[in-house]
Structure 1
Amino acid sequence: MSAKNQRRLQKRNQLGRREFLRTAPLASLSVPLAFRRWNTFHTLTTKPIEMRIDDVSYDYEEFRYRTPYKFAGKEVDRATILNVRCVAHLTNGRSAHGFGSMPMGNVWSFPSQRMSYDKTLGAMKALAERVRNITASFKETGHPIDINVALEPDYLKAADEVSRRLQLEEPIPKLCVLVTASAFDAALHDAFGKVHGLSSYGTYGSDFMTHDLSHYLGPEFKGEHLDRYLLKEPSARLALYHSVGASDAIEDSDLGKWKDDGLPETLSGWIRYNGLTHIKIKLAGDDLA
């Protein structure tokens, strides 16, 4: 490849990464955990805006689905929600409580043909306890993004230790670690926003962060901050997507037995009931060839 073509390819790849940041939805505040740990954690200066963790606690909520839901090749009829609460304070003494919540999506974050639903969920719960202890023990000050970048290697190490202790047939995958840790991450971001009297999405600029994006993503992002890729104000309206599982009934003829509980039981019924215009279709996962 010529030097000229190499430069063109490099430029195209760089634009692709930037375009990804501009267009990728930030579905949760767990995004910082996916950042590359470009350098080890350190605070260049102690600022009044930096945060220190005081306490972390968590609990679970259990829910049963109205009807089973099939995706990723498995049918599930329940959900376990991990709720995290934290207390944190700024170096100027001001404190706030934060809250984060995340479904323990073991079916898709820890898929296994060798372990049961309860076993993979149990592994995630064991990991959540370790993540709580690691997070609560962290006493450095910093922005939540930097705190989580610093803690991610410890979370991954804890997952390996839990896998060995429980003698799991398959180790806890990294995706599952990020899902488990995301509720803790979200709680820290929530506390950071509250202690400053802002939405947490308003705290990703140079006024609040020690590092620019080059610290996490590489030198081509020098001088840029995450707020460049976020909306300044929340959208007034969002489309409601109706998720269609692989075993959901589309029309009346697809139903073997009616529940008759007053709610729609087919996709066509839900379209009329809610005036749906956006649909998300889950793949069955039966044929991966």
Structure 2
Amino acid sequence: MVTRFQIKDIATSQEKFKYRSPMKFGGRVVEDVVVYHVDVVIEDDNGRQSTGHGSMTMGNLWAWPSSVVAADLTLATMLELADLICQSAGELGRYEHPVRMLVDFEHSFPEIALTLEKNNALAETIPRLAQLVCGSPLDAAVHDAFGRLHQLNSFQTLTPSLLREDLSCFLDESFGGCYLSSYVLEKPQANMPLYHLVGALDPIFGDGAKVESESDFPELLGDWIRRDGLTHLKIKLSGDDFDWDVERVMDIDAASRTVQLDMGRSTWSYSLDFNEKCASIDYVVDFLELIRTRNPDCFSRIQYVEQPTHRDLKKNPQNTVHKAAKIKPVVIDESLIDLESLLLARDQGYSGIALKACKGQTGSLLMAAAAQKLEMFLCVQDLTCIGHNFLHSASLAAHIPTVAAIEGNGRQYCPLGNQQWAQQYPEVFQPVEGRIATQELNGLGLGF
């Protein structure tokens, strides 16, 4: 018999970590991060209690890249919003399942954000993406606690025996008769390739550029590839400097090719991330065609292109990507906030989506199901997740059947944030032959 549960207690805390080396994306440079932690206690109708934990990096420069509100204020506002979301969650009633609870609760985020905007006299509204990031630690903590309450992995709690509503109750009527459990794996994939980030400031050939780093971390791309056996590289590009972008990919391929062939490999992959900076999709089409002409082998290694144009699809209907998607899969990242945005992206030519734990466990599960039903390309990216939230991201990726690789750049830029959890799960945080061991993420709750 399905019982209901209620949140009985919520505790929050924050940690700040300095990056080992700066990361540049979308014209912005990140040098540190604040992690927001949430612990929740839930209780069911029979008086049984369990505790769950959730955390997330508060990536304000990604979730709220404002030209009006200063970066330190967007971060402070997001932290305050996370506090208010947790306070409001303490007033929620009894629910049968976290998915229903959190879908309902997310509807209140704009109102909570509006109150904060008025009280702080903000010059612009808090973006929906930033709201989701602020709510994601609580979302994860509730799923974690619910799994532990039932002595199950959270992904095993998605069956109709515990989540009785089908997907039409959360998405639309076309999902009638479809259940969330059909779109996840009860047990995680044994291991997965790790996408290593090549940031816009990262040195490739040792041409005099230096990165402040501890002695046990590589500086140059080739050294990273040798140390970790990397097979997947995510390349950050400018999107507004065509020649630089082309030469950057050419250099990265040349450096990669030298090492990969020396290691006896013939196959490796790239993804390209323009971080919304392309003025139109013609930039991407011309870029891909030039890469194909100059270096067909490099072109063949490109697995997909990520979010090339502005995230606001409604305000930029001219930015259709059909032409580029005929050449390589094009996935939305920042644009993806709900089913409406997914369907709009598909209409505008996008061939896939990037899931991120920072948008919430609940929303990620629902978008993963929708994308699979619509036969769209799926990948999992992270928000430079570290420690607990990287394990969460890895667990999400490993439990979605069509996801073939996971991004994890926290080990590059913010290894201090991994130290505690890396001692318990060394094979998740340190890739071997380019892969991390995700079979370990099969414990209670979120899996660890």
CA distance 1:228–1:253, shift in 2 (3 Å): same
**Structure 1 pair 85–258 and aligned structure 2 pair: CA distance change class (3 A):** closer
**Secondary structure at the counterpart of residue 139 of structure 1:** coil
Matched, 1:185 2:115: no
The answer to whether 1:267 aligns with 2:221 is yes
- Alignment of structure 1 residues 15-34 onto 2, 5 Å: none
- From 166, 173, 184, the equivalent of 1:219 is 173
Q: Distance in 2 between matches of 1:52 and 1:260?
A: 46
Report the CA distance shift for 1:266/1:115 in structure 2 as closer, same or farther (over 3 A).
Answer: farther
2:92 aligned with 1:102, yes or no? no
Displacement after TM superposition at 1:130 (Å): 0.7
Shift of 1:285: 5.4
In structure 1, the partner of 2:186 is 232
Which structure's relative contact order is higher, taking Cα pairs within 8 Å and 6+ residues apart? 1
Distance change >3 Å, CA 278–CA 165, structure 1 → 2: same
Could you tell me the TM-score, scaled by structure 1's length?
Answer: 0.80
> After superposition, where does 1:65-144 map in structure 2 within 5 Å?
65-144=19-98
One-letter amino acid of the structure 1 residue matched with residue 114 of structure 2 = D
Structure 1 CA distance for aligned equivalents of residues 166 and 234 of structure 2: 35
Q: Can you list the C-alpha shifts for 1:210-268, whole angstroms capped at 9, x where unaligned?
A: 31111111222112110100112111111122111111111101514665734211212
Contact preservation (8 Å) 2:38, 2:53:
yes
Please, which moves more after superposition, 122-131 or 211-220? 211-220
Tell me the CA shift for residue 284 of structure 1.
Answer: 3.3
- State TM-score, norm by structure 2: 0.52
Task: For 1:288, give the aligned amino acid.
Answer: C
Work out whether 1:145 is the aligned partner of 2:99. Answer: yes
- Name stretches of at least 5 consecutive residues in structure 2 with no aligned partner: 241-276, 280-448
CA separation of 1:285 and 1:212: change in aligned 2, threshold 3 A = same
Most deviating of 259-268 and 205-214: 259-268
Residue by residue over 1:163-214, the C-alpha shift from the partner in whole angstroms, topping out at 9 and shown as x without a partner, is 2221222210001101110110010000000000000001111100131111
8 Å CA contact retained: 1:87, 1:98:
yes
**Which aligned segments of 4 or more residues in structure 1 are displaced greater than 6 angstroms?**
none
Pairwise CA distance, 1:115: 2.3
Gaps in structure 1 of 5+ consecutive residues: 1-46
Taking only aligned residues, the RMSD between alpha carbons, in angstroms, comes to 1.7
Q: Is the partner of 1:211 in helix, strand or coil? A: coil
For residues 239 and 156 of structure 2, the distance between their equivalents in structure 1, rounded to whole angstroms, comes to: 39
Change (3 A) 1:133 1:285: farther
1:163 maps to a residue whose letter is E
Instruction: Find out whether 1:288 has 2:241 as its counterpart.
Output: no
Residues 5-50 of structure 1, C-alpha deviation per residue, up to 9 Å, x if partnerless? Answer: xxxxxxxxxxxxxxxxxxxxxxxxxxxxxxxxxxxxxxxxxx5432
Query: 2:85 and 2:156 mapped to 1: Cα distance?
Result: 26
Matched residues, percent identical?
Answer: 38
8 A Cα contact 2:96 2:162, kept in partner: no
Query: Do 1:71 and 1:285's aligned partners in 2 also have CA atoms closer than 8 Å?
Result: no
In structure 2, the CA distance between the partners of 1:108 and 1:91, relative to structure 1 (3 Å rule), is: same
Change (3 A) 1:134 1:285: farther
- Cα distance in 2 between the residues matched to 1:120 and 1:134: 21
Task: Quote the Cα distance in structure 2 between the aligned partners of 1:102 and 1:226.
Answer: 24
Greater CA deviation, 256-265 or 212-221? Answer: 256-265
Inter-partner Cα distance in structure 2 for 1:127 and 1:252: 43
**Counterpart code for 1:194:** R
- Which of the residues 99, 112, 123 maps onto 1:169? 123
